[in-house]
Amino acid sequence: MPCDLILALDVPTREAAAPILRQLRGQLRWVKIGLQMFTAYGPDYVREVAGLGFNIFLDLKLHDIPNTVAKAVESLGPLPIQMLTLHTAGGGEMMRAAKAAQQKTNPNLLLLGVTVLTSMDSAGLNEIGVTAQSADQVARLGKLAADSGLRGLVCSPLEVRLLRAKLPAEVQLVTPGIRLASEAGSDDQKRVMTPADAARAGSTYIVVGRPILQAADPAAAARMILAELASSKAEGLKG
Q: Mention every residue, 6+ apart, whose C-beta is less than 8 A from residue 90.
A: 62, 63, 64, 66, 69
Q: Which stretch binds ligand C5P (CB under 6 A): 70-78, 122-130, 162-170, 172-180?
A: 172-180
64 near ligand C5P (CB under 6 A): no
Contacts 24+ apart (CB under 8 A), 69-73: 69/94, 69/97, 69/98, 69/101, 70/97, 70/98, 70/100, 70/101, 71/101, 73/98, 73/101, 73/102, 73/105, 73/111
| Residue selected from 7, 20, 24, 117 as contacting ligand C5P according to rule CB under 6 A | 117
Specify the 3-state DSSP secondary structure of 118: coil
208 near ligand C5P (CB under 6 A): yes
User: Least distance to ligand C5P from the beta carbon of 114, Å?
Assistant: 5
φ, ψ of residue 185 in degrees (nearest 5) = -90, 170
Residue 106's beta-bridge partner residues?
A: none
Q: Which stretch binds ligand C5P (CB under 6 A): 42-50, 75-83, 90-98, 114-122?
A: 114-122
User: Least distance to ligand C5P from the beta carbon of 61, Å?
Assistant: 7
154 near ligand C5P (CB under 6 A): yes
Specify the 3-state DSSP secondary structure of 4: strand
User: Least distance to ligand C5P from the beta carbon of 112, Å?
Assistant: 9
Residues 33-62 that bind ligand C5P (CB under 6 A): 34, 59
118 near ligand C5P (CB under 6 A): yes
10 near ligand C5P (CB under 6 A): yes
Contact 150, 94 (CB under 8 A): no
Sign of CA dihedral 138, 140, 142, 145: negative
Three-state secondary structure along 51-68? HCCCEEEEEEEECCCHHH
- Comparing CB distances to ligand C5P, the nearer of 34 and 142 is 34
User: Least distance to ligand C5P from the beta carbon of 134, Å?
Assistant: 11
| Residue selected from 3, 5, 7, 8 as contacting ligand C5P according to rule CB under 6 A | 8
Catalytic residues, by residue number, are 61
**Distance separating alpha carbons of residues 195 and 181, to the nearest angstrom:** 9
The residue count for binding ligand C5P (CB under 6 A) is: 18
| Residue selected from 152, 176, 195, 218 as contacting ligand C5P according to rule CB under 6 A | 176
Nearest to 135 by CA among 113, 114, 155: 155
195 near ligand C5P (CB under 6 A): no
Residues near ligand C5P (CB under 6 A): 8, 10, 34, 59, 114, 117-118, 154, 176-178, 187, 189, 207-211
